[in-house]
A and B are shown apart, each in its own frame.
Chain A
């Protein structure tokens, strides 16, 4: 069977599973809708958390990102896993003991203030919306590449599926679909990785494979790759280009941001007990680590394969897949020196972000690009980073069903994350705004209907952003972590570990932390404030991606200072804090 048929088959079966689960797991109370009734077993919650957490970006883009940044890519690997240690040790058990539905719930109650609650709601909405738009786009992209539909149609299909199980089943439906989605995405990620590891090194475990000797030689794969790269003038794969300071701050921002993301935190409200919250954080990290320790191996394999099969080869003698991905616009060759040979070197082929094809074929049969070629370097090969995971099975000559599996895995990753985020958006509106602030007398049934309505609205808004992605979305997704780090983490942490923290301190901290981080991003990332900037203008050499760490430190400092200049919190808050610190009721 060809790839198309396989893809329709596998994607169709997985979608049928998701919808079946949604119908089976309908939510009938707000507790079921918000936290799946609090009955999710720790192992299932671990899987659901892993699927919730690993987005289209983790599945499709991260290995590619590492393939092209080598050691610098470690910031994502450590940053997006290390946060779970903070979560498990510092937040999850206590929030579970607190035992309500949302993060703004905790902030509003702990700081006895609806202002604090509202600040938390705004941060939660902002973080979740920037993130969800990317997921919907991800669904569209997978559809368009594998099933040759329009990106927009892909987004509509994704909206439809998420709509069914998020609106109908709430957290209960989402949790059990996420369990299924985790199984699909991890299988889809591991199968090609294992195949390729065996092909290149003979070792079936990719985590060991990229440090093993290349088949038929006594050179390890990483050494071979380092050699290939330095020979062509690239920085070695195992060395980086970023400064140590920047690596340090970006890693910290991603770690703390992970621990502060509302859609991850709420997953720990769904387990029955405090000790389940601790344990399920451990399971979640195991499930995440399987993909995250494989990704750097996939990155090294893919980069090696790519250089081996394309560089310094005549266009007419390279493998067939090159043409396929050229057709998709993810690869392009601009023959600068007209020798008919593909030179892959450091530097940009052209100034634009994507190739524009003239529609003609060149002398070797390649798709001619009409971008103006930059002659200040010798590089002739344009590679879209996403190709690394998408094209890996083809480059390694794997069977068609594996390629179809990768499509289903990418969709599972995007849909599971989108659903988790949509739930945070709908709960923020129905619970934290409507029920807690505007209509406290609302019946449970009424609240449930508003939650469903809000979820519906959120799906539509997310779909809109998926079809009309604002320019800044791609830039802002990484920054969502910085914002979460600068706003939620300090407020929740101090709320648990520092009894004296009062509402004035917490609000002042969140507002300044968030404010300065937003300002820094607008100034240095988006360029909305002030003139053009370069990396030399960054404060202390910290990139906008890493600035969330500074935002977090400022949040802590401001909160502690303001807290000591203002009255202590009321006594019952002290009792509440003592209560959440112990697993049993006291």
Chain B
């Protein structure tokens, strides 16, 4: 069992991951899909206006990727601090 300081460090790293991932989460949905949708709509990808695409497609794909990135990061972190379940 790791000691108290190691657990503190584990938690600190975890929270840092969370902050970064949630910033991206905010950016792709509230940022690209809502606040800056007008500006992004000036840009086109294929037959889509970019802002509209983010709001109805891109944000959702990003959410899926964010969770899987988080799963990977945490599995590594669990190993690093030897707190993974067997």
Contacts and interface: CB of A to CB of B under 8 A. Distances in A.
Interface of A: 66, 71, 73-74, 77-78, 81-82, 84-85, 88-90, 93, 207-208, 210-213, 220-223, 238, 244, 247-248, 251-252, 273-275, 278-279, 281-282, 285-286, 289, 292-293, 296, 497, 578, 581-584, 586
B60 interface: yes
Given A207-B57, A278-B74, A292-B60, A212 B67 contact: no
B67 A88 contact: yes
Contacts of B61: 289, 293
B81 to A, nearest CB: 8
Nearest to B59: A78
B29 A251 contact: yes
B22 interface: yes
Contacts of B43: none
Given A275-B78, A279-B71, A220 B30 contact: no
A70 B22 CA distance: 27
A222 B34 contact: no
A71 B67 contact: no
Main secondary structure of the interface of A (DSSP, over half): helix
B55 A583 contact: no
A583 B78 contact: yes
Contact of B60 (A273, A281, A293): A293
Contacts of B49: 222, 238
B68 to A, nearest CB: 5
B85 A273 contact: yes
A293 B57 contact: yes
Interface of B: 1-2, 7, 10-11, 14-15, 18, 21-22, 25, 29-30, 33-35, 37, 41, 45-49, 52-53, 55-57, 59-61, 63-64, 66-68, 70-71, 74-75, 78, 83-85
Contacts of A275: 71, 74-75, 78, 84-85
A89 B71 contact: no
B25 A82 contact: yes
Nearest to A208: B46
Contact of A584 (B37, B75, B83): B83
A85 B63 contact: yes
A362 B37 CA distance: 46
Contacts of A248: 30, 34-35
Given A78-B33, A275-B75, 12 more contacts: A78-B60, A82-B59, A85-B25, A275-B74, A279-B71, A282-B70, A286-B64, A293-B56, A293-B57, A578-B7, A581-B7, A583-B85
Nearest to B56: A296
A188 B35 CA distance: 35
B56 A584 contact: no
A88 B41 CA distance: 31
Nearest to B22: A89
29 contacts: A74-B55, A77-B55, A78-B60, A81-B63, A82-B25, A85-B21, A88-B70, A89-B22, A89-B67, A90-B18, A220-B46, A221-B47, A222-B47, A244-B35, A248-B34, A248-B35, A251-B34, A273-B85, A275-B71, A278-B70, A278-B74, A281-B67, A282-B71, A285-B67, A289-B64, A293-B56, A293-B61, A584-B85, A586-B2
Contacts of B7: 578, 581-582, 586
Contacts of A293: 56-57, 60-61
A281 B75 CA distance: 14
Contacts of B63: 81-82, 84-85, 285, 289
B39 to A, nearest CB: 12
A194 to B, nearest CB: 17
A586 B14 CA distance: 17
Given A71-B52, A85-B25, A278-B74, A220 B47 contact: yes
Nearest to B52: A238
Contacts of A71: 37, 52, 55-56
Q: Which 7 A-B residue pairs are closest in the complex by CB-CB distance?
A: A220-B47, A211-B47, A74-B55, A282-B67, A296-B56, A211-B48, A238-B52
Contacts of B78: 275, 583
B64 A282 contact: yes
A85 B71 CA distance: 11
A297 B21 CA distance: 28
Most buried by B among A82, A247, A497, A586: A82
B21 A244 contact: no
Contact of A278 (B25, B60, B71): B71
Contacts of B14: 581
A279 B34 CA distance: 29
Nearest to B84: A583
Contacts of A84: 63, 67
Nearest to A238: B52
Contacts of A582: 7, 10-11, 83
Contacts of A78: 29, 33, 55, 59-60
